[in-house]
Every structure is written in structure tokens, then in C-alpha cells.
Amino acid sequence: MHCDNCGNLISTVSVFCDSCGQKIGEQNVILNSVKRKFNFLKFIKIPRHQIEMGIIFLLFSIGAIVAYNFYEKQQHSLNQALKTQQQETSQIAAQLTKVKEDTEATTKQNLDSIQTLSSQLAAQKSETDDAKQQAALAEKALSIISKQPAAVSASDSFPHINSQAIVLILCQDASGNIDEGSGTIVDSSGYILTNKHVVTDSYGNFLTCVAYMNDGSSLATIQNNVYYTLSTSAPNTGLYANADAAILQIVGAINSQTNTTLSLPTSFPYITPQPGNIKQGDSVFIFGYPGASDFVFNATKGIVSSRSADGTYINTDAMIDHGNSGGAAITSDGRFIGIPSQKYVADNDYNGQILDINNLNIP
């Protein structure tokens, strides 16, 4: 046997080790205790369930740490993704702002273009409406003057005049209604003298009017292939304030068949007004385009019957019909003395009235 204390060989019968003096009995006790099964839990005196709980807690802590590290990585990834998304969103917002600005600029340009186009279309429409109105007048005139020829009454005392100076006037109101009358060219530049009621509406507003000439023959026939546009705004044109009279000027010529513009004549045929003394019983001729003769050039004859009480009109028994208004009253010696204006018929009595040009200041 060896001594556990010093390791020397000792006798099995010895009580003490010969080398170190350790009591052999105590060695046996220690030796026996060493030989017993070692219980660590009993040695450290900790309950088994607490050790298990500790292990579980340690494992839980490790799991929590692993989970937290995973969460941190995920959170970092999400933050990076969010940052990238924010950058992309900012870029998209900038692009949308640019698109909006471009769209607004384009819209403004389109609106400006539309307004310009609308103005152009409105101007074109106005021109088209004027052309249609002129065409309507021409069409109406053609239908009115389709019945031809008509003879001019004559006698030994028939005045010598240029009948082309006495024109047919057609006027159209805002509703498209057309009425007819007559007028007389009074100078070579194309000024026409007529009745106020021929060229205005019931409110005294000028209508849109055109004029037709006849061919000047003895059986005067309307020249229906040309009509003349009339201006109410040219110098020396307008309405007389205290008389049923108006002055207009020829400003254009239109081919009624093709609706094309023609050149105006350098000089127009005309009859010069010649106010002067007239006597009761003087012969007087009424020239114009009355409805009774289907608005073709016509003449009727009568005498000077009297003068109106206020001196404005010359009364006559010469026939004055609708359409004669605005024409010419001419004596047998060829003097243009007045404008046939109206008539009165009652109890088989007839009285025509001629507006005396003595009362008019004619340019």
C-alpha cells in the first residue's frame, strides 16, 4: 500500500507512514471517502430544480439575444428600404411636379390658341353671315324682278330723263324680312336720295340695303345680274331729322350669279334735284318700282293738285303705290321736284303725296 500523503510504500500493518508519519487510519477514512461516488449538487448544495431553471433562463437569454440581433438586422434592412423608397418617392414627386408644370403650360398655350381660333372663327362667321345676307337679297331680287319687261307710259309731254338713275332698293331686317322701295341717284359719285321709311325699321335703325339699276331702254328692264351695296356711314350720308328722307351711297358692286365683287363704275348715271316754283295743274310723273307692277320700273302721270298745309308735301292725283316710295317725281319739263312718299285713299278719293325737295339740303 502506498501512503496517500507522500506516496511511499508502507506496510499494511503499519498505523503510521514511515516517511511522513501520516496515520494510516485517517488515510483509510479519506481513501474511503474518495472512493465514494462524488455528488456535485450535494457538494455545492444547490437544488436541482434551480439548476434546471438556470439552464432554461440561460437558453432563453441566448435565444433572446439571437432574436434581438435578427430584429436589429431586419430593422436595419427595413430602414434602408424605407430610405430608398423615400428617395424614389421624392424623385417621383419631382417628376410629377414637372409634368404638372408642363401640363399647365401646355393648357395655357391651348387656351390661348383656342381663344385666337375662336376670334378668327367669329370674324369668319360675321363675314359669312354678311355674304349670306347679300346672297339672300340677291335671291329675293331675282324672284321679284322675274316678270319683265314692262313698258314706260309715254305722251307728248313725257320728260326726258336717264331712267337708270332711278333704282330699285331692297332692304332686309334682322329677322330676314325683305321690303322694297325706290331711290334716285343724285350725283355721279353714287349718292342715292330716298325715303327714310324705305331704309329704316320701325325704331329708326338702318336696314341692310342693296340697289338694282335698269338697263335704260325705252322698255326699261332690271339688270338682275348685278346689285350694288349701300353705305349709311359714308360722308354726307344719313337720315334727315325733320323729313321722311335719307341719303345713302353706293360703295360696292356684286355679281348676283357668282356672288363675286365687281369694280364700281367711274361715274354713275344721275338726276340732279331741281327745286323751283310749281303751279297747281302742272303735269307730274311718278317714277319707281311699285308693287302693282310687280316691282318693275314704272311711270304714272297726274297733276299737281295742291300743297299740304305745312308746305312739306305736294299733293297729286298721280298714282303712288307701295314700292314707289323713295323714287322720283318729275315735271313734264324734266325737273326733279320731289320724292313720292305716301298715299291716302278714302271714299273713292285718292291723294298721293310727294315730299318737296325744296325742304331738303341735298349734298
- The domain locations on the chain are 1-36, 163-359
Over the chain, what is the mean pLDDT? 82
Residue recorded with cell 310727294 = 354
Mean pLDDT of 68-79: 83
Contact 274, 335 (CB under 8 A): yes
- For range 157-177, the mean pLDDT: 91
Task: For residue 139, report the phi and psi dihedrals to the nearest 5 degrees.
Answer: -65, -40
- Does position 276 have pLDDT exceeding 80, yes or no? no
**pLDDT-based confidence at residue 155 (cuts at 50, 70, 90):** very low
The answer on pLDDT for 52 being more than 70 is yes
Inform me whether the pLDDT recorded for 105 exceeds 80.
Answer: yes
Residue 213 banded pLDDT, cuts 50, 70, 90: very high
pLDDT at residue 149 above 50?
A: no
User: Scanning the structure block, which residue is given the C-alpha cell 336720295?
Assistant: 193
Count of residues making up the chain? 363
The answer, yes or no, to whether residue 360 has pLDDT greater than 60, is: yes
What average pLDDT does this structure show over 147-159?
Answer: 54
- Tell me how far apart the alpha carbons of residues 228 and 135 are, in angstroms, rounded to a whole number: 12
Average pLDDT over residues 148-173: 75
**Dihedral of alpha carbons 134, 208, 212, 139, sign:** positive
pLDDT(353) > 90: yes
pLDDT band at 35 (very low <50, low <70, confident <90, very high): very low
Q: Is pLDDT at 228 greater than 60 in this prediction?
A: yes
Per DSSP, the three-state class of 13 is coil
Cell numbers 353671315 correspond to 129
Assess whether pLDDT exceeds 80 at residue 195.
yes
Of the listed ranges 3-12, 87-96, 173-182, 285-294, the least confidently predicted one is 3-12
Reply yes or no on domain 163-359 having CATH 1.10.10.10: no
CB count, 10 Å around CB of 158?
A: 16
* Confidence at residue 192, expressed as pLDDT on a 0 to 100 scale: 97
Q: Which of 168, 198, 173 is nearest to 184 (CA)?
A: 168
Q: Is the pLDDT of residue 25 over 70?
A: no
- Reference 273, options 192, 347, 350; nearest CA is 192
pLDDT score for 101: 86
Most confident of 40-44, 128-132, 256-260: 256-260
